[in-house]
Each structure stands twice: as structure tokens, then as C-alpha cells.
Structure 1
Amino acid sequence: MEGEVVPNSTLNATTTDIHLVTHNLWEVITIATVSAIVSIITIVGNILVMLSFKVNSQLKTVNNYYLLSLAAADLIIGVFSMNLYTSYILMGYWALGSLACDLWLALDYVASNASVMNLLVICFDRYFSITRPLTYRAKRTPRRAAIMIGLAWLVSLILWAPPILCWQYFVGKRTVPERQCQIQFFSEPVITFGTAIAAFYIPVSVMTILYCRIYKGKRRWRKDSKPGRRSFTDSDRPSKTTGLLRTAREQNNQARRLTVHQLSRSTPEEPSVASQKSGKCVSYKFKPMAQEPHAEHHSNNGDSKMVSSAFSSAESMTLPSTSSASKPIDATLKSQITKRKRLVLIKERKAAQTLSAILLAFILTWTPYNIMVLISTFCSDCIPLSLWHLGYWLCYVNSTVNPMCYALCNKTFQKTFRMLLLCQWKKKRLQEKLYWYGQNPVVSSKMS
């Protein structure tokens, strides 16, 4: 989150005139109540996300590793940033000292920037999953996701923590008045403008471009995956699918040759082969069982006995051609491939919906404040202090909205949230254990 910019008159306040904002009793009660409710919802929502990831193995996917990291950043904001900032607004000054101020700002900005970096990583992950489904997904592992998450947090830490904590040692003095809490290097409008561009506008532009390409790729994938059309993912792997079909045909032909060989050994009479073009390629004749009582003794196994009994009343047998015999196998394999594509498509749709909701919430909650940052660069006194507070708080609200986006777009998250809130998760796990041990939990409950 970019630094809170306040009017120059505020920055020039003396230590004797320290109360920046005065609120009446009802304003204090309203601000405190609303901020407390939002903070509690943020904390509970993000704890639910983390608990859901732990208790439900269905949620332990690579996509959700990034959401888990995002929830950790949002939880930090809900616990520390919201409450400290609310007290700062209500009191009108910072009462905890300069060290606590710098530590709070460092934690706040690192967590906020980590949220942005995690969103950027999620967008790139979705983009490569759609545009490079074979090459990228082979490398898309939980270990790789953990590395990307670690890098996102490390970059945020390096970018914000040293300047916030050490700026006064770089310039030789503390540039913020006593009992005020603000990032010291944001007293320069040019630096404020540059950080807003680098920390918000560039990432948002990249996310928007990636999302547009993801949307186009998803539409093309959905169109190509319709029945009767070939998916572009198949064009990347013709050898795999063709190899499966060819292997199935070869196995079918080997089984057919083995059966024919066994049939020919079970009868002393040579078969007469008739070549036909009507889909039936080979015809074998067998003598009746009554004329060859010793036929079943010529076999080393029980196959000839089964075949002899099957054809004891039949004069001849016709084997189907290779093409007709392989049709059921081809159809089975194709149906399995189609089913797998459909499952992948459903997962991609859920991930894309979640990304859409998160990205929209991020842009809506962060844009007002960053617009004010740009305006203040050219007109420092144009924006009232109350509007600054509102815009800054709106950035925090993004951490409240994110868990709601997960629940709205992902039914698995939604069901797990409900079970955790209703304390039903232990009961569900007990029922699963009873089921796997061969007991019916419904019957057991009725008997008890």
C-alpha cells in the first residue's frame, strides 16, 4: 500500500498542536464500531481460508497455495494494520513512539505489497496454464509454488522494510514530526508519485493485460473443446494420443492372432481362408465335436476346450476386421480423453472465476487512494484529510473481501467454511472413518 499522504499544513504541525482531527462522540463510536466489525470479519475470514486449506485435502492444489499466501498477508492487515490505523485516526496523533510507528509501517507495507505480488504471481500462473498447458503444467508443482510465494514475500520485504526502518539514518534526521506516523521519504511528492506508479499502476496494468489474454485463451479453449472440434491441446500431443490408440490396436491384434493360432491347433483340419472386403476378413471351419473327440487334448491349456464347446454346433466362424474391432477401443479412449478435458476445463473455469473476482475487488478498493496520490503530487491541499483516511481504509477492505471471493467462486471453499463455522468438520471426518471401516454412519446413529 502506498504511503498515506497528508497535507503540508499537517506535516508542519508542532508538538504542542498535535491533535490533527477532532471527532465528536458519535463519530468516534461509529468509526470504532465499523472498523472493529471489518477487522473481525477480515480476521475470521482469512483464518477460515487457512483452516480450510489444512483440513480439506481437496483444497490442497497449486492454485490454492497462492490463495493461502494471500490470506496470510490479509490476516496480518486485519490483525495489526486496521486496528492501529483506527486508533491513529480516532486519537488524532500517534501515541506509541517512533520505533513502533516504523515497525507498524514496515509490516503494513510489506504485507500490502505481498498481496499485490501474490496477485501478480496468480495472474502469471493462470496465463501460462492456459497458453502453455503441457509444458508449464509439468513444472507446476507445490514446491515451485512455494518458491514463487517466497520470492513474492522476499521482494516485498527488500523493497519496503529497509527504507522505512533506516531512512532517518540515510538522511541524518527524522523527517516526520514527533507523534505523527508516516513514511519519511513520502514527504517528497516525486517519490510518492514514483512509488504509486511502481507499486500499483504497473502491476495493475500487467494484471489487466494478462487477464485479457487469459480470457481470450479460455474462450478459444472452450470453443475448440466442443464436440466435433479438435482441441488445441491435442495438437500439442498427437504422438501421445495416437500412441495410445496404436498400442490398443496392436494388443487387440495380438490377442486375435493368439486365439486364431489356438483354434487352428485344436483341429486337425487346415482352415480355409477367404479374403473378403466387406469387413469380415478371415473365415475358419471346424469339424463337429462328435467327429473329433480328441480335439481338446491337443491344447496345452483350457482355451481349446472352451472354443470347441462354443463351436460344437457351429459350422464356421467369421472374425471381424481390425478396423471394426478397434472401434470400441478407440471410442473408449476418446471418451476418457474427452472426460478428462471436461474436468480440466471445469477446474480452469473455477480458477478463472476466482481470479476475476479477486482482481476486480483489488482494482475497486485500491484505485481511489492511488488516484488521490497522483492528484496530491500536483495539488497538495486539494484533498481533505477525511478523504485520505477513507481511501486508505478502503485499501484495507480488500483484505476483507478476498475470502468472500473465494467462497463465492469456489463451492469447495464455501462448503468447508460452512462446516467449520457450524463445527461439523469433526463429525464429517468421523463419518468418513466409519465409512472406510465398513460401517454405515446413518445406520449406526439410528441404532444408537
Structure 2
Amino acid sequence: MRFTCFLRKMANGSDANASAWPRPSVNTSWQSAAQVLLVTAATVALSGVTVLGNSLVLLSVKVNRRLRSVNNYFLLSLATADLLAGAVSVNVYALYAACGSWPLGPALCDLWLVVDHGVSAAAVLNLLLISLDRFFCLTRPLSYPLRRTGKMAALMIALAWLLSFALWTPAILCWQRAGGRRLVPEPECYPRLLASPAVTLGTTLPAFFLPGLAMVGLYGHVSAASRRRLSGRRRPSGDRLGTCAPSLSASPAPSSARRRVAVREKRVTRTILTILLTFILTRAPHNAMALVAAFSHVRIPDVLWQAGLWLVYVNSAVDPACYALCSPTFRSTFRRLLLCRRPDPPV
């Protein structure tokens, strides 16, 4: 969710929202030039890291057969959302910040808002799918793997993207105009639907707070189920399709097969925890400030708004590092791609 405006009391009774984008002064002082250079440098660095990292994720799944698993299809979809955020959202935001006003016209403003909010919502839903997939793998080891196919994953991913844009596209476009007249001032670009505190609450809940709480609860169940599985108190009969974690019951507890399963269990669970923590830490400040501004009518300082929004964009750059940190296969494939070497042979 991208809140690009803060709530203010307006004496004329018009929209309570106004733009919170940084606006360099129109003079040519060195402070203004330095501010533009700082925004440009930060944008180039963040966009470059985000695009490179998520491109490596996409290429890794393509060139390394060991990464072509159902759970990595969800990571692939998340990487696509993060790539779009880094390539489009970050750069357009920086252009707006450097210019001090919207320079691309109302049509491109609305298009960018739809893409920005839709991609953000798709990333959240894909994170939720990752948590749900792992939850069902561990809690329904007999029935879920039979339905956990590539086609089912593709359908769930398609529904997540469709729902994201179906919710945000009409909401943004319909609220921008009334009676054939555009209500957002021409030099501005923000979603007018956030003028209402009720709407702000209605968008922050499904965009961050409810998915965040759901993912925390799912991770708690996943962690507990994984511990039971590894301790031997619960030993499922295995995954007939090979799409979830393999059985722990086929070998004694010092056996090498069981150790490999244990390592894989812990690695997958650790990956989910890392992604979940980065999601909460990078998105919580901006969404919390939006609620405070909406219901207390407190003017949040521009620097805090901007810092919160940049944190949201940083989330898209951090996700690939989470995969590399927690997965030796991703890490080795990243390294080989960066060094222009062939990936490891499939095992």
C-alpha cells in the first residue's frame, strides 16, 4: 500500500488530503541542487539493486532445474512484483520528488497510481500465499500434496494478481473524477480515495494489518508443526508427488536422510520468517503513520512520510537477499550468474 498524501484540515472544506512529496524550491541554490542530486543518487542505487536482485531470482529459476519447485513459483511471482516496484514505482516517485510537482499529466498519474498500488497489493498476497502453502504442507501432509501442482500454483498466483488490480483499478480511477471533472489538482498526483479516514482504515487493514496478522499466525503454526515433525512426535507418511517436504519416517533419527530433511525444514521455515520480518519492519511505519494522520488529523512531517515510503520500496530490494541468505541453491546460482558461469548440474 502506498500512501502518497497526508491528512490536513482544509479551511475551504475541500479534500483533506494533500501531497506529501518532497518539493525542492524553485531557486537555484546549492541546497536545492544537492537535494535533487541526493534523490537521484538514492533512486539509481535502490532501483538498480532491486532490479538486479529480482532479475537474478527470475533467471535462477529459469536456468537451475533444482529451483523449479512449486514453493519457488510463489517466490517467482513475488520477485516479479518486486521487480516492477523497483523498475517503475521507485523511479516515477523519484521524478515526482525531484520536480516538486507531477510533470507527466493526469492520465499517466492515474496509470502510475494503479500500477503502484496493484503491484504492492500483489506482493502482499503473494507473501500470504507463501505462508499458506507452507502451512498446508506441514499440517495436511497427506491430502495437500496431491493437489499441490504447478497448475494449482499458477491459478493461485493468477488470482492474486487479478484480485489486486481488480480491487485497486476501479477504486482509484472512479474517485479521481466526479461529473466529468478531475478533482485532483493538475500538478498533483495522489489517490483521492484516501481523503476519507474510513477509506484509509479500509485500505490499510487488507493491505497490511490483516495479512500481517494472518502471516504471523500462520508462521506460528508452521514453526510448531515443523518442530513436531523433526522431533518425531508426528511422522507423516510422505509426499507422493514430491512437492512438499519428504517423509521423516523412512529412516532412523542419526541417519543422513533424516538430517537432510531436517536441514531443509529449518531452511524453508527460516526463509519464511526472514521474509515476514522484513515485510513487517519495512511496511509498518508508513501504514501506522497513515492511520495516525487519518484519525487524529495530525500533520506528519514530510521527512517521516518520505522515510516511510522509501522503507516500503526497500522491501522490494531486500527480498532477494533473504532468498540468498537462507538458500544455498539460490546463493550459488546467483554467484554463477553474476560471474557468467553455467549453473550447477541438476541432482
How far apart, CA to CA, are the structure 2 residues paired with 1:136 and 1:391?
Answer: 39
Task: Report if aligned partners of 1:63, 1:351 keep a CA contact under 8 Å in 2.
Answer: no
How far apart, CA to CA, are the structure 2 residues paired with 1:86 and 1:19?
Answer: 9
1:194-240 Cα shifts (integer Å, max 9, x gaps):
2111211111011111111111111111111xxxxx64315x99xxx
Aligned residues: percent identity?
Answer: 43
Task: Report if aligned partners of 1:167, 1:184 keep a CA contact under 8 Å in 2.
Answer: yes
Aligned to 1:195: 203
Matches within 5 A, 1:40-439: 40-169=48-177, 172-224=180-232, 231-234=234-237, 334=251, 341-425=258-342
How far apart, CA to CA, are the structure 1 residues paired with 2:57 and 2:172?
Answer: 30
Q: Which residue identity does 1:26 align to in structure 2?
A: A
How far apart, CA to CA, are the structure 2 residues paired with 1:142 and 1:371?
Answer: 37
Of 69-78 and 157-166, deviating more is: 157-166
How far apart, CA to CA, are the structure 2 residues paired with 1:190 and 1:133?
Answer: 42
| Offset of residue 347 of structure 1 | 2.6
3-state SS of 1:392 partner: helix
**Mind listing any 5+ residue stretches in structure 2 that lack a counterpart?**
26-30, 240-249
| Offset of residue 348 of structure 1 | 2.5
Q: Which residue identity does 1:8 align to in structure 2?
A: R
| Offset of residue 49 of structure 1 | 0.4
3-state SS of 1:233 partner: coil
Q: CA RMSD in A?
A: 2.6
How far apart, CA to CA, are the structure 2 residues paired with 1:126 and 1:19?
Answer: 41
1:8-64 Cα shifts (integer Å, max 9, x gaps):
379879xxxx99443622222122112210110000000010000000000001110
| Offset of residue 343 of structure 1 | 3.9
How far apart, CA to CA, are the structure 1 residues paired with 2:38 and 2:337?
Answer: 30
| Offset of residue 170 of structure 1 | 5.7
Aligned to 2:246: none
How far apart, CA to CA, are the structure 2 residues paired with 1:19 and 1:387?
Answer: 11
3-state SS of 2:34 partner: helix
How far apart, CA to CA, are the structure 1 residues paired with 2:135 and 2:260?
Answer: 18
| Structure having the higher Rg | 1
3-state SS of 1:134 partner: coil
How far apart, CA to CA, are the structure 1 residues paired with 2:9 and 2:112?
Answer: 24
Task: Report if aligned partners of 1:129, 1:137 keep a CA contact under 8 Å in 2.
Answer: yes
- Structure having greater relative contact order (Cα 8 Å, sep ≥ 6): 2
3-state SS of 1:51 partner: helix
How far apart, CA to CA, are the structure 2 residues paired with 1:398 and 1:189?
Answer: 26
Aligned to 2:3: 3
Q: Which residue identity does 1:232 align to in structure 2?
A: R
Task: Report if aligned partners of 2:2, 2:116 keep a CA contact under 8 Å in 1.
Answer: no
| Offset of residue 339 of structure 1 | 5.6
1:147-193 Cα shifts (integer Å, max 9, x gaps):
11111101101111122123345665323212100002112222112
**Mind listing any 5+ residue stretches in structure 1 that lack a counterpart?**
225-229, 238-332, 434-448
3-state SS of 2:55 partner: helix
Residues 1:26 and 2:34 are matched in the alignment: yes
Task: Report if aligned partners of 2:106, 2:186 keep a CA contact under 8 Å in 1.
Answer: yes
Distance 1:193 1:5, change over 3 A: farther
How far apart, CA to CA, are the structure 2 residues paired with 1:423 and 1:149?
Answer: 30
Aligned to 2:44: 36
How far apart, CA to CA, are the structure 1 residues paired with 2:8 and 2:182?
Answer: 16
Task: Report if aligned partners of 2:8, 2:299 keep a CA contact under 8 Å in 1.
Answer: no
Distance 1:141 1:340, change over 3 A: farther
How far apart, CA to CA, are the structure 1 residues paired with 2:69 and 2:200?
Answer: 38
Aligned to 1:303: none
3-state SS of 2:102 partner: coil
Q: Which residue identity does 1:55 align to in structure 2?
A: V
| Offset of residue 395 of structure 1 | 0.4
3-state SS of 1:71 partner: helix
Distance 1:134 1:345, change over 3 A: farther
Aligned length: 324
How far apart, CA to CA, are the structure 2 residues paired with 1:53 and 1:27?
Answer: 39
Of 190-199 and 167-176, deviating more is: 167-176
